[in-house]
Amino acid sequence: MPTTAVSVPGGSLHVVDEGSGPPILLIHAGVADLRAWDDVVPHLTRAGHRVIRHDIRGFGRSTTEDVEFSHQADVRAVLEAAGVEKAALVGNSKGGSIAYDTAIESPDRVVAVVGVAGGLGGFDGGETPEEVRVREAYEAVDSAEPFDAEALTEFEVKLWMSGPLQPLERTSPKLRARLFEMDLPLNQPSHVGGRQVRLDPPANDRLAELRCPVLAIAGTLDFTDCVVTAHHLETNAPDARALIWDDVAHMIGMEQPERLANAVAEFVAPLRPWS
């Protein structure tokens, strides 16, 4: 597995680069690292793609000082280090927000975006009364004294892997253990994540600039905000469509990697080739 370290101002990004063909850059969720894509990558490389992924700052094996930084600039640094002029971006959750922001800020570098339960800067899809109670419980665990990083991580694993209103056992212990391993270091009080400079105005105010093809995938077992966001993009972005699956929650690439990879490969197939 070819890996490299890409230097960025105030930090270093751990990058994995596999396969050959039109490049796809995978951007992980805010409770994981690049290992969340482990089961997706082989399907995409077999479909004839070069697949690049990186740990965002302060996640996994990437490092950062307590500095201001832009995720979009980091994405460009990864592409430049890989010698990639244009890529399709696939982002899960926070990674989806980064992908949309990058496509708006650097449209010449992005051929398509697939948002996987992806966030959208400046947009709030709302929440149901049941989800309000879940959020309040989440905030209570996060602010508990004394702080318990393992308890918070266990709560997040249930929330994001199994689904906010689903039984914990909906997903396998193996999957939950994998997410727990990635998420626990992020909840340590000593964790340094840097200070993100956000796109201004935010992506939701600039959807007319999101001109590349967009596929917004969401699951109905996730927070309703993710489904609403997908439909919002389909309605308001120039070239977007929503794909809603009724049997997945937030970490779709871990739950159903082959299905997700097939959806990505099919979506970008008409755009081949790009470099």
Helices (H), the chain: 41-46, 71-81, 94-105, 129-142, 149-157, 173-183, 224-236, 252-255, 257-268
Cβ contacts of residue 181 below 8 Å, gap of 6+?
Answer: none
Q: Which mean pLDDT values do the consecutive 10-residue runs of the chain (275 residues) have?
A: 93 98 98 98 98 98 97 98 98 98 98 98 97 97 96 98 97 98 97 96 98 98 98 98 98 98 98 92
Under 8 Å between Cβ of 78 and 98: no
Q: How far apart are CA 165 and CA 235, in angstroms?
A: 27
Query: Backbone dihedral region of 48: left (phi > 0), alpha (psi from -120 to 50 degrees) or beta?
Result: left
Residue 274 CB-half CA count within 13 A: 19
Cβ contacts of residue 168 below 8 Å, gap of 6+?
Answer: 158, 162, 176
Burial of 193 (0-12, 13-18, 19+ CB in 10 A): middle
What residues pair up with 88 in beta bridges, in sequence order? 24, 112
Farthest-apart Cα atoms in the chain, separation: 54
What pLDDT score does 151 carry? 97
CA distances for 66 relative to 14, 76, 202, 219, 262, angstroms: 18, 20, 23, 35, 38
Global pTM value: 0.98
Question: What is the DSSP track for 10-53?
Answer: TEEEEEEEE--SSEEEEE--TT--GGGGTTTHHHHHHTT-EEEE
Under 8 Å between Cβ of 109 and 102: yes
What pLDDT score does 275 carry? 79
Q: Which among 65, 64, 61, 55 has a CA at the least distance from the CA of 26?
A: 55
What pLDDT score does 69 carry? 98
Provide the token pair at 75: 């994405």
Could you give the domains of the chain?
A: 3-123+192-269 (3.40.50.1820), 129-187 (no CATH)
Question: What is the DSSP track for 101-119?
Answer: HHHHH-GGGEEEEEEES--
Which amino acid appears at position 102 of this protein?
A: T
What pLDDT score does 224 carry? 97
